[in-house]
A and B are shown apart, each in its own frame.
Chain A
């Protein structure tokens, strides 16, 4: 391992940020935050939703014009989009080994989850605020 060092940086500086996790526990912690938030939000969202699914349009609008149901749905869809992005990122990082493909997949994942979350939030707000 006696390699000629032509770099003026210290070995410590060259290794910084290149570990397996790259950004410490930041991603891990954020995934716990969204997971914990989804415990109450999941319970509060799922019951009105399974009740509303299959109902006629007017009934669905009425259910989600209730401020309570609308706020729960907005929070649930928003936090779900974040948790989905975090979860899919870990799956992608585990199974995609080509660096260019990995970067592309991570970018697509971020874009997909943000669009999904924002469309969902916008739709619920439009129903709730339509009057």
Chain B
């Protein structure tokens, strides 16, 4: 029987949500990409900070005043910190998969939960390190 919806069916990334229950596998996969793209902003902020510090005290004061404003710290640096460790740990998960290990569904779930726990712990540790 001919498929009447052929060519009109929703395709992969747009399946998640309205047509397909979000799962740790798909959500963690797209999260790797989202955190990576988001950290482009972090790279720009870090380079701006270094460039301002290299230029002199006046330009550093200007950059520092913006970059260490509480609003930026809470809504940009904190998500950047979580993104950094998530992308870091999940990247190592990908490197493990590249060697052929951990490809079964139970293993993928186990490494997924380990990645989330490690992200939380490393972020918390870094935060404590930064504040004290």
Within the assembled complex, what's the spacing in Å between the Cα atoms of A127 and B52?
10
Inter-chain contact B130/A123, CB cutoff 8 Å: no
B43 within 8 A of A: yes
Q: Are A50 and B126 in contact (CB under 8 A)?
A: yes
Q: B21-29, B90-98, B113-121: which lies at the A interface?
A: B90-98
Contact between chains at A57 and B57 (CB < 8 Å): yes
> Does chain B have a CB within 8 A of A108?
no
How far is B54's CA from A119's CA once the two chains are assembled, in angstroms?
A: 10
A77 at interface, CB cutoff 8 A: yes
* A42, B88: Cβ atoms closer than 8 Å: yes
Give the chain B neighbours of A64 by CB distance below 8 A: 50, 53
Is A91 within 8 A of B43, CB to CB? no
Contacting residues, chain B, for A80 (C-beta < 8 A): 43
Within 8 A of A (CB), among B83-119: 84, 88, 91-92, 94-95, 98
Q: How far is the CA of A32 from the CA of B51 in the complex (A)?
A: 29
A54 to B98, CA, bound (A): 39
Given contacts A60-B53, A61-B53, contact A36 B88 (CB under 8 A): no
Taking the complex as formed, is B16 at the interface, i.e. its CB lies under 8 A from any CB of chain A? no
Stretch of A10-18, A81-89, A98-106 lying at the B interface: A81-89
Interface string of A101-122 (1 = CB under 8 A from B): 0000000000000001001101
* Interface contact A120-B51, CB-CB below 8 Å: yes
Residue among A80, A116, A123 with max Cβ neighbours from chain B (10 Å): A123
* Chain A residues positioned under 8 Å from B37 (CB to CB): 87-88, 91
Given A53-B67, A53-B130, A84-B40, A123 and B47 contact (CB-CB distance below 8 Å): yes
Contacting B44 at CB < 8 Å: which of A32, A116, A130? A116
Q: How far is the CA of A84 from the CA of B39 in the complex (A)?
A: 9
Q: Which residue of A lies closest to B67 (CB)?
A: A53
Residues of A with C-beta under 8 A to B91: 35, 38-39
